[in-house]
Amino acid sequence: MKAIITGGGTAGHINPALAIAACIKKHEKDSEILFIGTERGLEKTLVPKAGYEIKYIDVQGIARSLSPENIRTIKKAVKSYKMSREIIEDFKPDIVIGTGGYVCGPVLLAASKLKIPTIIHEQNIPPGLVVKMLRKRVDITAISFSETETLLKKAKRIELTGNPVRDGILNIKNTETERPLVLVSGGSLGAKRINDALLEVLTLQGQDYYDIYAATGTRFYDEFMEEASKRAVKFSEQKRVVPYIYDMDKALSEASLAVTRAGAITISELAAMGKPAIIIPSPNVVHDHQTSNARFMEKSGAAVMITEKDLSGELLAKKIKELLGDKEKLKKMSSCGKKIGITDAADKIYYFSKELIDAYK
């Protein structure tokens, strides 16, 4: 199989793309896979790190209010469409798969006009703008939650696949130690409000009975460490803070409890592993989709939600203490997560890809 995979911006779009690529390689070792992304997104780092070739186009998102910047955006969209078409015609893929982000738009549009099979995958419950725009044109819109189907009227074809989860997550075994470990992450870009709450936690008394491993996000790391120094916070093997956690699979396996945002891939990985979590959805995302994701996890019994407006170091420390002190509660949350976790999403997308390729022959 020759496949082009496109998606970018944040790890939430890139990780499912990498999971799909790995799945294709698992089924067909001789497959050729090419990624298309932008040089501004995390794909520039994560895709080559995973061993795949990537080509770049220059495209940006549309401002949601009237803005002169949208004129520039339209010009870039036209240029990126032409670039996408050239890349596709040169590579000659059997299928083109998109996993979200504005980079998907011109690539999937070009592929569909060239009569090449297309799939776009939506990770969240409320669909994004690109998915809405392409739903009538792509061959299959793959969704992660059944609730999404009612929000995608007139789509050509919808298939419930779940979110592709990396093999590293699916295959890793929980290796929790006797001393509890709390993993804190504000997502691939970091979250200042979570960082601020973590700083408070680190300065509160009575937090020495568990370890902390936290990622601040690269853009917030220096600021965080400077403020921590002012507050005389001491770091050690039991209290570690880094800009970004590259070995997230291992970190999750060792954690007794995760404190995270509510990105779709994050909650899918937590569910697949049965990892209890305190989820703090970002309110600064389109359609407030993280709150929908977090409520789904809380309603399922797999997580506890704290809204950002209620978040404080004191409340976070209180919730951590409550959960770590109730092993039965943690076991129940783990069990509930596994019940809702979908572990074969990448395989489903692979088989749908094969079906489309055969249909186009």
The CATH number of the domain where 114 resides is what?
3.40.50.2000
pLDDT string in tens for the chain (361-residue length): 999 999 988 778 898 999 999 999 999 999 999 999 999 888 999 999 999 999 999 876 554 554 555 556 566 777 889 999 999 999 999 999 999 888 999 999 999 999 999 999 999 888 988 999 999 999 999 999 888 999 998 999 999 999 998 777 777 777 776 799 999 999 878 999 999 999 999 999 889 999 999 999 999 999 999 999 999 999 999 999 999 998 888 899 999 999 999 988 889 999 989 999 999 999 988 778 899 999 999 999 999 999 999 999 999 999 999 999 999 999 999 999 999 989 999 999 999 999 999 999 8
**Do 334 and 347 fall into the same domain?**
no
How many other CB atoms are found less than 10 A from the CB of residue 222?
11
Same domain, 74 and 187: no
Alpha carbon distances (Å) from 164 to 26, 70, 123, 228, 346: 14, 33, 9, 37, 5
Alpha-carbon distance of 300 to 205, in angstroms, equals 33
Closest CA to 151 of 111, 117, 122: 122
Question: What whole-number distance in Å separates Cα of residue 186 and Cα of residue 101?
Answer: 19
> Hey, what's the torsion of the CAs at 237, 238, 243, 247, to 10 degrees?
80
Q: Are 330 and 210 in contact (CB under 8 A)?
A: no
Give the per-residue pLDDT at 248: 87
- 205 CB neighbour count, 10 Å cutoff: 6
Query: For residue 72, what pLDDT is reported?
Result: 61
pLDDT at 173: 74
Same structural domain, 25 and 153:
yes
The pLDDT value recorded for residue 69 is 55
Domain count, the chain: 2
**Is 309 found in the same domain as 177?**
yes
Query: What tokens appear for 297 in the block?
Result: 């996890």
Q: Cβ(302)–Cβ(336) under 8 Å? A: yes
Contact 235, 261 (CB under 8 A): no
Domain with 284 in it: 169-340
Give pLDDT, residue 102: 87
pLDDT at 21: 97
Domain co-membership, 16 together with 136 = yes
The answer on 223 and 123 residing in a single domain is no
Helix (H) or strand (E) holding 239: strand 239-242
Position of tokens 């804190």? 184
Contact 230, 202 (CB under 8 A): no
Same domain, 348 and 240: no
How far apart CA 278 and CA 324 sit, in angstroms, is 11
Q: d(Cα 276, Cα 280) in Å, to the nearest integer?
A: 13
Q: pLDDT tens, 21-32?
A: 999 999 999 999
Q: Do 182 and 147 belong together in one domain?
A: no
73 with 201, same domain: the answer is no
Residues 323 and 187 both lie in one domain? yes
Alpha helices in the chain (DSSP H): 11-27, 43-49, 69-91, 104-113, 129-134, 167-171, 192-203, 218-230, 248-254, 264-273, 289-299, 313-324, 327-340, 345-360
Same domain? 100 vs 238: no
Helix (H, G, I), strand (E, B) or coil at 140: strand
Verify that 286 and 312 share a domain, yes or no. yes
Q: Which helix (H) or strand (E) holds 260?
A: strand 257-260
Rounded CA separation 199/207 (Å):
12
Vertex 299 angle, CA 343 and 174, to 5°: 40
